[in-house]
Amino acid sequence: MKKIEQKLAGDPRVIDVGTFIGAGGPRFYLPVNPEFPWAGFGQLIINTPTFDDVNSLVAELQPYVHKNFPQAMIRIRKYTVGPGDTWPFELRISGPAEADLGTLRRLGEQGMAILNDSPHAKNVRTDMRNRVQKVVADYDQERARWSSITRAQIAEATRRAYDGTPVGRYREGDDMLLIIVRDSEADRRRAAGNLEAIQASPEGVTFQHFVQRSLINLKQWNCHRVMNFSGMVNMTVP
Highest mean pLDDT among 85-89, 98-102, 125-129, 178-182: 178-182
Residue 206 has pLDDT above 60, yes or no: no
pLDDT category of residue 14 using cuts at 50, 70 and 90: very high
Q: What is the pTM of this model?
A: 0.61
Q: Are residues 238 and 89 in contact, defined by beta-carbon separation less than 8 angstroms?
A: yes
pLDDT at position 64: 92
Q: Where in the chain is the domain with CATH 3.30.2090.10?
A: 134-221
Q: Is 41:75 a contact under the CB 8 Å cutoff?
A: no
- Between residues 93 and 138, which one has the greater pLDDT? 93
Q: What percent of the chain has pLDDT over 70?
A: 78
Averaged confidence pLDDT in the chain:
80
**4 Cβ contact list (under 8 Å, min separation 6):** 44, 61, 65
Inter-residue contact 233 to 95 (CB < 8 Å): yes
Residue 230: pLDDT above 70?
A: no
**CA 61 to CA 7: how far, in whole Å?**
10
Higher pLDDT, 126 or 230: 126
CA 144 – CA 31 distance, rounded (Å): 54
Ramachandran area for residue 48 (φ above 0: left; ψ -120 to 50: alpha; else beta): beta
The answer as to CATH 3.30.2090.10 being correct for domain 134-221 is: yes
Kindly report, residue by residue over 174-197, the tens digit of the pLDDT: 889 989 888 777 777 766 566 666
